[in-house]
Every structure is written in C-alpha cells, then in structure tokens.
Structure 1
C-alpha cells in the first residue's frame, strides 16, 4: 500500500513540476480533483485521496485509472515502483502517516 502511495505521489509530482515550469497546459493533471475528473470511469475524489494516503488498499483497476488519468502508463508506474527503497518507505511512514493521524 505504501509503495503504491509513494509511486503515485512521485508521478503526480512530475506533473506538478511541469506546472511549476510555467507550462501552460490546462489539460495537465496535477491534483486529486483533476485525476478524478480526468478518469475514464466515475472515480470519486475520495477514492483518489485514499490511494495517495497509503492507509487503505486500492484495487488494481483504481490504480490503473489513476495512473492513466495522469497521463502515465503502467510501465511508468512499474518502473517508479521498483525504485522505491525500504528507506523511502520508512521516511514516508515517519513523515506522511504521522501528519495524517
């Protein structure tokens, strides 16, 4: 769950970095709301938020919908997922999960 959340956050950060570079593209998906809206299925913003939180398991179809709505492929997701280290997981748990409690 945590590796999925970390991976989704890193992919979303890539999109946000394009926004920060003043790339004017209204279609760029750079928020949870835009992910839900851009999804090819009816996916709720709360479902998206849960996937990014690392607290609840997401179904594979939810992950696929989120990844594709951000403009990435499952190959992109898999490559990023495989780069997540135990250190990354511990840092996420320490920083993110404590903040959300």
Structure 2
C-alpha cells in the first residue's frame, strides 16, 4: 500500500503461487483477479485497507510459466521467484512455519 500527501492510497494486489499451486479453472480465479481488485478500489471489504487505485501482480515459479500462460495475461504484472532471486541473490526464503 502506498499513500500520497492527501491520503489517497494505491494498493498492490499480489497473488503468490508456489510451485505446487494451481489456478482452479472452475473458479476462474485468474480471470477474476483484476476485476476484484478494481471493485475493491474505492469499496474494499473490512479486512482490506481502503484504497482508490490498484494493480495486480502474479508471483510464480518459472517452472509454471506454461501452465499459467493464460492466467499471466490477466495480471498487470507477472514476475517469477527466479527473477526476484536474481535481483536479491542473498535473500533467504522465510520459513513459513515460524511466521
């Protein structure tokens, strides 16, 4: 979330897909992600901070590029774990069991 000097907020809606994850075609999750983000801009659920604008980001493993080819096009930005690792080579993955 980014705010400016007049308290307008811009949100990053990030969908993280681990290498074993998939998109459920019956739920059309990929296709609905941007629409939901736009709907939430201006009228977010109580569990989501209020914001006026948003962008959608898909973070996934390069190994899933072919499997996610149709969903990738549904997001404003698509980036891989591998590309993040190239930019931050010394980053250590978090142990999610300790969060």
TM-score, with structure 1 as normaliser: 0.33
Whichever structure has more helix as a proportion of its residues is 1
Whichever structure has more strand as a proportion of its residues is 2
Higher relative contact order (CA 8 A, sep 6+): 1
